[in-house]
Structure 1
Amino acid sequence: MINDFIKVSAACPKTNVADINFNVENIKKCIDTAEIENSKIIVFPELCITSYTCADLFEQEILIKKSTTAIEALNTYLSNKDILVIVGAPLLYNYALYNCAYVLFKGKILGIVPKSYIPNYTEFYEKRWFTDGMNIKSKFVDLPSNKNIPFGTNLIFQCGEIKVGIEICEDLWVTIPPSSFLSLLGANIIVNPSASNEIVSKADYRKSLVSNQSARCISSYIYASSGVFESTTDLVFSGHLIIAENGSILNENKRFQRDNEVLTSIVDIHRLTSERLKNLSFRDSIKFCPFEAQIINFEYTKTEVTNFNRYIDPHPFVPSNKSERDIRCREIFNIQTSGLAKRFSHTRLNKAVVGISGGLDSTLALLVIVKTFDMLKIDRKNIITVTMPGFGTTDRTYNNALNLCKNLGTDLREINIVPACLLHFKDINHPVENHDVTYENVQARERTQILMDIANKEGGLLIGTGDLSELALGWCTYNGDHMSMYAVNCSIPKTLVRYLVKYVAEKEVDKNTSEILIDILDTPVSPELLPKDASGNITQKTEDLVGPYELHDFFLYYFIKQGAEPERILFLANKAFEDKYDEKTINDWFQKFLRRFFTQQFKRSAIPDGPKVGTISLSPRGDWRMPSDASFNTWI
């Protein structure tokens, strides 16, 4: 399972300008550090063998010769090391000097990649010494102890599913970076030996470039830039190190360090493969690639990550950073309200009907409706909120429902469903003391019938309250709470619902309403379809029956988003929740998730319209199209 991952490093060694022996010794120290950390790829800065800022010294024959000798000595040093090393140095080829990345592995130079774009503007004047290599493809060069070395910008270095492509510094900053083509040709790890100087705000732009290019290429991106010991005659370098993956920054160093530095992270190869498989535009772009790749195969002795320290977020739908979470919540509300506003403008209706239970989902739906009506300048009294106490309704949820609706100024109505349900039990000859699924579903369908009929009577839209997690598990009554005229929560998982309600409580309502919302957040999740206990408390807690929603949301994310096999999902879940649930508990709930997900597809095949707000939706018209009678045996 851990073979899906590879540990990689970006390094910035101490250097002296033009002091090759000193530079190589520090490069070796960084390699040793990466090897101790079980890293399999290490990337060094541009021209770090000589240092980047040698200027006209690059025209000195001795510097070029000693650089070549140093590369071969470093290669010998690596003969027994199971790590791919990418290091920057010049190469003299056909009377032209090239700024290159040398790829070293187990005593062999696997290939040499020249820099495609040579900057020659503002503070850069590399063309004084170097020739661009963009047109060099599938050439070969000889060095004293290594012959027929592949040379070109189209090289991809491959070990199994690990495919490494290289671009150098300026290559990333151009309109179409070489990595765009390399990724289309299969490279899933892009490395960039760089020398990028510091000026105000450049670091943020550089980080954005790396992040965005990793997203466009659906790849990992390892960036290593020259450090503070480069010449400071006119410029200062900071040793910026970044490791990104498909738009996310996995790790970044603190710049301006004054010692050897190695930044390490774990890259998820399976995630990248899965994303590329689903992104048909990525596949379609291959036809525009202007050249073919030259594949250089190599083989690691061992690729397993022995010290798995990659952070696995237990709540992948919820940003861990609070400020980012608040931004996300605001964005989600904008999507929900815009979707609902369009539905009202299309139907030319100005009344909404929603069932309010005092639980999280109906609370969120009501908050969306209120925000939409305020935006459309429709009186909140046109929001018909209906509370429908039944056999299991507790005083806590009942009072919260009443107080919330009153505070928000809606048209509050109360209809007790017990008499109607008792009559229905009699009609279908169902014993009232038999608290089976019929007992529960009668109540759910009675509530939906009431809401539908009020919507018809008042000329309004019935707004659905069910969320993504409930749809995934089929935790809804078919043609009961399963149905509505527009479902605003349908692509929001339960773990995120909680934060959305909390966001409103903290940011958008008065103190009294906030206190009600906080109490709703503290109430156990329950459909309240079974009778309450002697003390009037909830007896039917959803998470006792179907399992913790945080686990199911985690399973759902990796099952849908990555198409991950069960072994991988369990591995990740055990890492994410290692301090909260044991392996048996996680496995048992995962089996429950799989069975329910497959057997409840028929409900998802017939769900109302509703807006997609995140990367995962189970709409049968959009993201998820699955046979209702598919078997789960392959996954169990």
Structure 2
Amino acid sequence: MHLAGYKIRAWRDAHKPPLSAEEFGIQFGDPWPSRTVYGWESKGKVARPPVQRRLADLGICSPEDWLEPAPEQDTEDSSVVSQNDQFDRDTRDHPFFDLRQHGMVRVATSTPKTRTADIDYNVEGILAEAERAHDAGVDLVVYPELCVSSYAIDDLHLQSALLDAAEAGIARIVAASADIDPVLLVGAPLRHNGRVYNCAAVIARGQLLGVVPKSFLPNYREYYEKRWFAHGRKIRGMEITVAGQTVPFGADLIFAASNLSGLKLHVEICEDYWAPTPPSTQGALAGATVLANLSASNITIGKSDERHLLARAQSSRAVAAYLYCASGHGESTTDLAWDGQGMIYEMGDLLAESERFSLNAELCIADVDCERILAERARMQTFNDAAEAAGRPEDSFRTIGFELAPSDGDRGLVRPVRRFPFVPNRQHKLDEDCYEAFNIQVDGLMRRLEATHAKSMVIGISGGLDSTHALIVAAKCCDRLGLP
């Protein structure tokens, strides 16, 4: 249990008059269902960032409280523990409650505190967020593009002193990660054979697993990346030396967890997913189930919607999870602006999104169902056909193995669960969805009456919602067919 849940329950009880979970959710939420409130209080569920901000504004609990354990509760006889509580603890220790037993992995996007070209400060911010993710039971964290150096530093990208410091910064993160559970995807400018590449470093538990270069470099409008960086589209089967450590380097890398068979990770960087042929498409066809994008991506009006469109489409088309993380407050605003958007999609569904334009570091968390992704790919023979048509990318990609930190049992579930799983979960388009659902039924009944040459219909009316709806569908069908 976390401190936030403890404080919410105490606040409800101290209210005059005391509030039930349902009353609390209606009065102070949008609304929050009682089961959601109970999930925070007694099951360790973590609220979405906007809800955390709302509770903080009400003075109930702070965002940090969601990562702190609840205090031990005193009783008149502390040696007496109720049988129900003991049963609950024993049950929660069962392997069934471990996310990984169900093929799930806890992922996060993080927009850390940043200062332009201040690598020591940026590394501290990256590690602070890594610690927060560790405390939240996260397995994988995606940071923004060039987060070690910061993005908007122009020709400083070519300065030897900065590049040396960036390499030393990566070494610091690698060393510190030995005591941190999550796999970290960190952006930095790195040198190889006399060229500078815009890279993503994949770090896990004290090891630098590999480095992925950016494939597509924007060089239009406000972007000048080809002035500083070389593209990495054709880099395959190569190695790079970073801070004295030689590791795999290229656009042909898949990172696979040895202790979670469904977790295979592909990495691309910012502009890569704006390209007509994103590298992550090949990564997915090579077997990756989680696609990560380290992005700087300055913000302009309407661009957030475009990012959602691309992430949703790629996660759906590639039958995968897509993690996207953009740079936020602290980047230079001499020429550009930043919003720090982070989002997590799974097969077209938005699981979580960070607060935008936040002054504070943001950690956006969700549980991704790798088993569901693999099951859908097995059903969808088009996916296998596409892999074959692309020349079987799995045969040419290199797989880098790693081991996730041991799981600590029940971590709760950080994932929206639909009340109505067979209809779209989008309140803003409810009228359109209802229009489609109704007319699907009407059209189907019309065709059935035409095919069978039926002259009448018989409907049993109970007075309930189902039979009433059936009557309305039948009446509309008769109207359209010109029947009495």
Global fold match (TM > 0.5): yes
Superposition deviation, residue 156 in structure 1: 0.7
The answer to whether the aligner puts 1:12 opposite 2:111 as a matched pair is yes
SS of corresponding position for 2:113: coil
The answer to whether the aligner puts 1:52 opposite 2:151 as a matched pair is yes
Contact 2:355 2:362 in 1 (8 A): no
Q: 2:241 aligns with which of 123, 129, 142?
A: 142
Instruction: Please show how residues 357-506 of structure 1 align to structure 2 within 5 Å.
Output: 357-358=461-462, 359-376=464-481, 378-379=482-483, 381=484
Contact 1:356 1:363 in 2 (8 A): no
Q: State the partner residue of 2:418.
A: 313
Contact 1:7 1:305 in 2 (8 A): no
Task: Give the counterpart letter for 1:260 in structure 2.
Answer: A
Contact 1:7 1:40 in 2 (8 A): yes
Deviations 1:427-475 (A, max 9, x none): xxxxxxxxxxxxxxxxxxxxxxxxxxxxxxxxxxxxxxxxxxxxxxxxx
Deviations 1:93-136 (A, max 9, x none): 11211111000111111000011111111111111111111111
Superposition deviation, residue 356 in structure 1: 2.3
Q: State the partner residue of 2:378.
A: 277
Q: State the partner residue of 1:82.
A: 181
Superposition deviation, residue 227 in structure 1: 0.7
- Given the superposition, is the C-alpha separation of residues 212 and 355 from structure 1 closer, same or farther in structure 2, using an over 3 Å criterion? same
The alignment's C-alpha RMSD in Å is 1.8
Q: State the partner residue of 1:340.
A: 445
Question: Is the deviation greater in 111-120 or in 280-289?
Answer: 280-289
Aligned pair count reads 377
SS of corresponding position for 2:335: coil
The answer to whether the aligner puts 1:181 opposite 2:276 as a matched pair is no
Instruction: Please show how residues 59-70 of structure 1 align to structure 2 within 5 Å.
Output: 59-70=158-169
Partners of 1:305 and 1:192 lie apart in 2 by 29
SS of corresponding position for 1:275: helix
Q: State the partner residue of 2:266.
A: 165
Q: State the partner residue of 1:353.
A: 457
Partners of 1:268 and 1:58 lie apart in 2 by 38
SS of corresponding position for 2:179: coil
Contact 2:131 2:180 in 1 (8 A): no
Task: Give the counterpart letter for 1:157 in structure 2.
Answer: F
Superposition deviation, residue 76 in structure 1: 0.5
Question: So what's the TM-score if we normalise by structure 1?
Answer: 0.57
Superposition deviation, residue 299 in structure 1: 0.7
Deviations 1:539-564 (A, max 9, x none): xxxxxxxxxxxxxxxxxxxxxxxxxx
SS of corresponding position for 1:48: coil
Partners of 1:259 and 1:209 lie apart in 2 by 26
Superposition deviation, residue 228 in structure 1: 2.2
Contact 1:72 1:145 in 2 (8 A): no
Contact 2:263 2:370 in 1 (8 A): yes
Superposition deviation, residue 243 in structure 1: 0.9
- Given the superposition, is the C-alpha separation of residues 354 and 289 from structure 1 closer, same or farther in structure 2, using an over 3 Å criterion? same
SS of corresponding position for 1:29: helix
Superposition deviation, residue 351 in structure 1: 3.3
Superposition deviation, residue 305 in structure 1: 5.2
Superposition deviation, residue 370 in structure 1: 1.8
Partners of 1:241 and 1:286 lie apart in 2 by 29
Q: State the partner residue of 2:319.
A: 218
Partners of 2:236 and 2:360 lie apart in 1 by 37
Q: State the partner residue of 1:300.
A: 404
Deviations 1:56-82 (A, max 9, x none): 111111111110111011100111222
SS of corresponding position for 2:212: strand
Q: Which has the higher contact order (CA 8 A, sep 6+)?
A: 2
Identical residues among aligned pairs (%) = 38
Task: Give the counterpart letter for 1:99 in structure 2.
Answer: N
Contact 1:108 1:146 in 2 (8 A): no
Task: Give the counterpart letter for 2:382 in structure 1.
Answer: S
Q: State the partner residue of 1:192.
A: 293
Q: 1:116 aligns with which of 215, 229, 238?
A: 215
Partners of 1:240 and 1:301 lie apart in 2 by 27
Partners of 2:456 and 2:400 lie apart in 1 by 63
Structure 2 residues not aligned, in runs of 5+: 1-95
Superposition deviation, residue 142 in structure 1: 1.8
Instruction: Please show how residues 595-606 of structure 1 align to structure 2 within 5 Å.
Output: none
SS of corresponding position for 1:140: strand
The answer to whether the aligner puts 1:237 opposite 2:335 as a matched pair is no
Q: State the partner residue of 1:151.
A: 249
Q: 1:254 aligns with which of 339, 355, 366?
A: 355
Partners of 2:403 and 2:466 lie apart in 1 by 52
Instruction: Please show how residues 570-585 of structure 1 align to structure 2 within 5 Å.
Output: none
Superposition deviation, residue 313 in structure 1: 2.8
Partners of 1:112 and 1:321 lie apart in 2 by 38
The answer to whether the aligner puts 1:24 opposite 2:128 as a matched pair is no
